[in-house]
Structure 1
Amino acid sequence: MDYVRNHIWQILILLNYIIALSAVVTILLKKVNPTKALSYIIGLLALPFIGLIVYYLFGQEYRKTKIFSRKNVLNQSVVKKIQEKLELDHKTIDKVDDLLDQKSKLIPLLYNNEKSKLTINNDVKLIKNGDEKFKLLFKDIKEAKHHIHLEYFVIKDDKIGSELLNLLCEKSIDGLEIRISIDDVGSSISSKMKRQIKEAGIEMNSFMPVLFGKFTGQMNYRDHRKIVVIDGKIGYVGGINISDNYVNANNTRYWRDTHIRVVGETVKQLQILFFTTWDFVSKGQTEISNAYFPEHNCVENVPLQLAASGPDTDWSNIMEAIFVAITNAEDHIYITTPYFIPNGEIVTALQVASRSNITVKIIIPKKSDSWIAEYATNSYLQLLLEAGVEVYQYTKGFIHAKTMVVDGVFSTIGTTNMDYRSFNINFEVNALVYNKKISSELTQFFNDDLKDCCQLHLESWQNRAKRTKLIEALARLMAPLL
């Protein structure tokens, strides 16, 4: 015992490196992204104890261990029948192919990856900013008759959040089924409000609860989705969470965001997606009935496909869809993202597109809500500017929209940032819209946002301070961990 006490630090260091080396072997055998693997290996070997903690919190690859399973939901007869009904005949698919030309490659990609079906009968409304979203959402909730399902990364019981939660309590007391899935790290609801929610009969569960949530803002793996399904007929998806930050009437900093409201066949897919998460967070055998999939009377014909990805999918579905859309562009690509920390595939695709005389424009915030993400983002911009990509920094406030328009016929709106975390770690969902009208409206959103941007130029960007470049380089090294 005296020997142990006298050599405690040497023993602890030895144990640290035994565990660290076993972790290194595990990382190598997993064949993960080389940059990400190298980041973890350097951390494990160069930072005793700290490296192990970081790897334990952020380095576990749950996609491979399959702790997230969707089989209980997808194997249910009701869900199988719904998915079969969503199958399109070849004549309809050919019509879409003619409209989209090369963009139609996305349709079989997502189907082959995750059996994500293209649906035709949809009415899609683009929503600009939280003020407009909450006005529409509250109206739909007030008119709901059977059930309301919410799945959000952020729900706070601040002014707008309390208004929403109080309304849901009223609807639950009136007899509606209310289910709420919140991310345990992103959301913040007081004990008092939780008691009120429970007493009203609302079922609410947290996604992957963690200890000390305020100190684990980047804890893997998070449910970053923002989904609402009302009566199985109306769906919402996009970038806007439930918080006063998203309401410009209540917020000191202007918050620019984009969401969509959908009526039609795609709502059934959103419903299935919600139930896959609910089955996990409720830790029970969720029984699904036809009541959650009513027939719709939508007569609009907006082709739409849902792309969902996360540790429960075998492939990085959304990243792959974005990659295919970029590589098949023929005229222009307009991207808006709050965080631009891409993998090598996306960087190369954008560089090649721009050098092939395709107009590539990207809007990012000038001032991010995360200093390290801002520096990491800036570390990638010179590569784009050298290839002729037009980069614009949004100056009016914080731009949180996650959208892309390609050639005026394809657009995507969703929860996915252009970063490692969204592509590989978090649960995300995007709506892929194959429609000229929606693409035109989203292009107008983009052009309006350009009026509140300053364009970066290669020469002046190269001349920024060496200290700034060094911080960016260090932040970029941490990019796989952000």
Structure 2
Amino acid sequence: MLEIALIILYILIALSLVIGLLINGVKPSKTLAWLLAIFTIPVGGILLYIMLGRNRRKKKLSQMREGILEVPSYSMDPALEQMHRKYRKLMTLVESASHYPPTDDNVVTLLEDGKQAFHNIFQALEDAEDYIYLQYYIFEEGELTDKLLSLFEKKKKKGVDIKLIYDGIGSYSLSSSYIKRLKSMGVEVFPFLPFRFGRFLASLNYRNHRKIIVVDGQVAFTGGINISDRYFKGDPNLGRWHDMHLAIKGPAVAHMEHVFISDWFMVSEQKIEMRCSPDSARKWEEDTLVQIVPSGPDDVFPTIEQSYLSIINEASEYLYITNPYIIPSAEIIKALQIACLSGVDVRLLVSEKSDSKLVDWTVMSYFEDFLKAGIRIYQFPHGFLHSKIIVSDDEVATVGTANIDVRSFEHNYEVNALIYDKTVAKKLKKNFIMDCAESQEVQRDDILDRPEFQKLKEGLARVFAPLL
């Protein structure tokens, strides 16, 4: 009788989850994947869904986040707006969804790989006089964090306010002793959704993948680079990590600061005021147009995914994408295919190997869909290529933290910088072509002729792609 009762209970729980899937309007591909998991993996399927499947898009992770601080307004030079008419819809889309308008009078510096990025970051931190805000998905102890510890101690003695957010899962290896040392010197430290037994199932799937530094409202950094020695030492399995980061000066810094303050309130319940505004930012000789694009699971719209789709749809000459995790939605696949079939030069640059075999198989499972439309694919062999870049038509680029997958679009807190600038776009285009020259182009015949066992692994991985 007990066994029958447990079976009935299991069936009722499974049915209730299925009803929830249908009521919440989950995409059909995800619904089918979760149905498969729930009904073919006894007990484990239900646990997986509870941990990873529940959609909190309409159930905000923090109601307190809503309206804590109004986004700083900004009025762009009308002449500059006229210059970028082609991307006016993209600008409006992002502003409507996230409330962050584009700003001009910015200086954007591309920081390729860890050595260059950390040189610029530490230089800015050394110059800090008022405050330092940091936020990282991976904050991993090593030479970099030891150097930060010494710098923070020196800056705190001079009265600099330092606040740090680290992700509770991404920075799982961060020791309590290191955190205690930070707090003992006066650094304010909070984790984002840390691992706790009672909240594990509710929080595991929602991570803060952003990488942000703001110094004195004068300079901000963002991009793909985490705080980890792997960016200049490498690791045994993947070698050196290659990535792209940005240093931004100008009015866009205020919007980066607003993103941090919003997240700070979420983790600490402390409301802090903006210390800079776009209108009070220093005017620079350069005049780069930048728009900050944050996105998260509690937003009404998946803003970053929509911005990617808009760039793809507006491309007329070329579209070059660098990303290690290209596990696209059906909408992204169709948009890329349409662009290429319409005569746009579409190329994808991925890493030959990543930090997950399952991800490798899943990424490769989409190659045939791309190649049959004429999209060219290159695999970068020298270490792990971790950059998240799109550049198009020598006019627009996006650099940031978001991958091209469901996790970045729907489950993670991410932030990108949209750059409407010919000089920056041409630099990124040049870098892309150089990287492709060092990479192996994927041939359609090789994909069609790959072993059946490889196809099986990719097929199984792809079934669970909506869950990754």
State TM-score, norm by structure 2: 0.95
> Is 1:201 paired with 2:209?
no
Map of 1:192 onto structure 2: 177
Unaligned stretches of 5+ residues in structure 2:
none
Map of 2:344 onto structure 1: 358
> Is 1:36 paired with 2:20?
no
Q: Equivalent residues in 2 for 1:41-190 (5 A)?
A: 41-69=35-63, 71=65, 74-76=67-69, 79=70, 83-84=72-73, 86-88=74-76, 90-97=78-85, 102-187=86-171, 188-190=173-175
1:164: how far off? 1.9
Map of 1:247 onto structure 2: 232
Give the match's secondary structure for 1:164. helix
Give the match's secondary structure for 1:340. coil
Report which stretch shifted further, 308-317 or 11-20.
11-20
CA contact (8 A) 2:234 2:241 kept: no
Q: Quick one: distance in 2 between partners of 1:289 and 1:333?
A: 37
Report which stretch shifted further, 471-480 or 165-174.
165-174
> Is 1:222 paired with 2:210?
no
CA contact (8 A) 1:173 1:201 kept: no
Q: Quick one: distance in 2 between partners of 1:283 and 1:9?
A: 46
**Number of matched pairs:** 463
CA contact (8 A) 2:251 2:277 kept: no
The code of the aligned residue for 1:399 comes to: L
1:31: how far off? 0.6
> Is 1:282 paired with 2:268?
yes
State TM-score, norm by structure 1: 0.92
1:345: how far off? 0.6
The code of the aligned residue for 2:368 comes to: Q
Does the C-alpha gap of structure 1 residues 416 and 398 become closer, same or farther in structure 2, counting only changes over 3 Å? same
Q: Quick one: distance in 2 between partners of 1:275 and 1:219?
A: 23
1:447: how far off? 1.5
CA contact (8 A) 2:261 2:272 kept: no
CA contact (8 A) 1:234 1:267 kept: yes
The code of the aligned residue for 1:122 comes to: N
1:113: how far off? 1.3
Map of 1:3 onto structure 2: none
1:173: how far off? 3.0
Summarize deviations over 1:28-77 as a string: whole Å, max 9, x none: 000111111111122112222111110111012121111234656x454x
Q: Quick one: distance in 1 between partners of 2:409 and 2:51?
A: 18
Q: Quick one: distance in 1 between partners of 2:274 and 2:451?
A: 61
Give the match's secondary structure for 1:303. strand
Map of 1:426 onto structure 2: 412
Map of 1:348 onto structure 2: 334
CA contact (8 A) 2:257 2:274 kept: no
Unaligned stretches of 5+ residues in structure 1:
1-6
Identical columns (%): 33
Q: Quick one: distance in 2 between partners of 1:207 and 1:409?
A: 36
CA contact (8 A) 1:124 1:302 kept: yes
CA contact (8 A) 2:59 2:298 kept: no
Does the C-alpha gap of structure 1 residues 16 and 202 become closer, same or farther in structure 2, counting only changes over 3 Å? same
CA contact (8 A) 2:396 2:420 kept: yes
Q: Equivalent residues in 2 for 1:301-380 (5 A)?
A: 301-380=287-366
Q: Quick one: distance in 1 between partners of 2:107 and 2:64?
A: 28
Give the match's secondary structure for 1:320. helix
Give the match's secondary structure for 1:121. strand
Does the C-alpha gap of structure 1 residues 445 and 335 become closer, same or farther in structure 2, counting only changes over 3 Å? same
1:245: how far off? 1.3
Q: Quick one: distance in 2 between partners of 1:327 and 1:173?
A: 52
Map of 1:4 onto structure 2: none
1:194: how far off? 1.1
Q: Quick one: distance in 2 between partners of 1:310 and 1:406?
A: 25
Give the match's secondary structure for 2:207. coil
CA contact (8 A) 1:205 1:281 kept: yes
Q: Quick one: distance in 2 between partners of 1:264 and 1:429?
A: 17
1:402: how far off? 0.4
1:168: how far off? 2.0
Q: Quick one: distance in 1 between partners of 2:32 and 2:51?
A: 17
CA contact (8 A) 1:131 1:248 kept: no
